[in-house]
Amino acid sequence: MTVHSSGTSEKDRAVAVFGAAGHTGRFVVSELLRRGITPIAVARNVAKLAEFADRGIEVRGTSIDDPESLDQAFKGAAAVINCAGPFLDTADAVASAALRAGIHYLDVTAEQPSAQAIYDKFDKAARDAGVLFVPAMGFYGGFADLLVTTAMGDWDSADEIRVGIALDSWHPTEGTRITGAKNTARRMIVANGALVPVVQPAAEADWNFPEPFGQQKVVELPFSEIVVIARHTRSSELRTYLNRTALSDVRDPATPAPEPADENGRSAQIFLVEATVRKGEQIRRIAAEGRDIYAFSAPLISEAVQRILDGRARGSGAQAPGAIFDARDYLNALAPDHLSLAVAED
């Protein structure tokens, strides 16, 4: 089944943004406006939404402990984007409300258990309702899945998939710190074709990234992209590595929150993600460089919701982005404004 547009014009469609008052949520609201999609700013503390009301954006307060208030908060929306972590606290309640409303659900979780729970609990019900539930459609998660899917191309399986993430710095938001403290679940990778916990202490290696990063010390540190990629891609090995510089920053309690460095509110942070897929002796690589992992999640997830509402997504149910979108076309749509891409084959 293909998800079709409702037939309404772009300006008549509305998307609820749960967690709109948060750091990433603010970027998402602005990006939806830029695309001509009407945002509904939703938060657990409606007082934090005053800036949106002053701009003429509809605001609604709600509580994840009150299903009726969630139903009211999402009334009239075609989709909901959940930006409020920890997602182990919010995703189930928000996704359940989306299902009751018969609307699409997307979030930006980096938490593996949260993404897996959406797949496990909501897939059949979302299929029956003819809607799409797309967890982890942010920098950590869906982004790597789109890169890997593009690199895979015509391959139906791989012997090994490796994702390397390099950040020149990582100034975490308050939400990142709260989530990190709460998410104590063991991180999973794919080894010998099965999801298994990462061996501790985590493996370290050298990764020769494209410029401007070059050779970096990296640590095996999987995020939600593992369960997202494994949702639709067969590989004997699937692992993620983060450079030591970023890890040191995010683990240091003295590292400050991100500061805006341009007129759009983006920080000066630079990221580069490289995915390599190997089948026998053949290796395919793709690398993408951009700026500010939090700000980048806004066009990334907004592109997804726009394609879903436009009828440019395949299927229904709880899905990975690489399974429902043309991955290469999707990434190309983000370039050059948000990404620079390079694809190679050895």
Domains of the chain listed by start with CATH number: 10-138+297-324 (3.40.50.720), 142-293+327-345 (3.30.360)
Query: What b/e readout covers 79-103, taking b as 16+ CB neighbours within 10 angstroms?
Result: bbbbbbbbbbbbbbbbbbbbbebeb
Residue 121 has pLDDT above 90, yes or no: yes
Each residue's pLDDT tens digit, 315-346: 999 999 999 999 999 999 999 999 999 988 77
Each residue's pLDDT tens digit, 219-273: 999 999 999 999 999 999 999 999 999 999 999 999 999 999 999 999 999 999 9
Residue 1 has pLDDT above 80, yes or no: no
Confidence of residue 184 (pLDDT cuts 50, 70, 90): confident
The predicted structure's pLDDT at residue 2: 36
The predicted structure's pLDDT at residue 344: 82
190 close to 196: Cβ distance less than 8 angstroms: yes
Residue 70 has pLDDT above 80, yes or no: yes
Confidence of residue 3 (pLDDT cuts 50, 70, 90): very low
Q: How far apart are CA 297 and CA 226, in angstroms?
A: 18
Q: How far apart are CA 24 and CA 300, in angstroms?
A: 12
User: Looking at residues 90-118, what average pLDDT do you find?
Assistant: 98
91 close to 107: Cβ distance less than 8 angstroms: yes
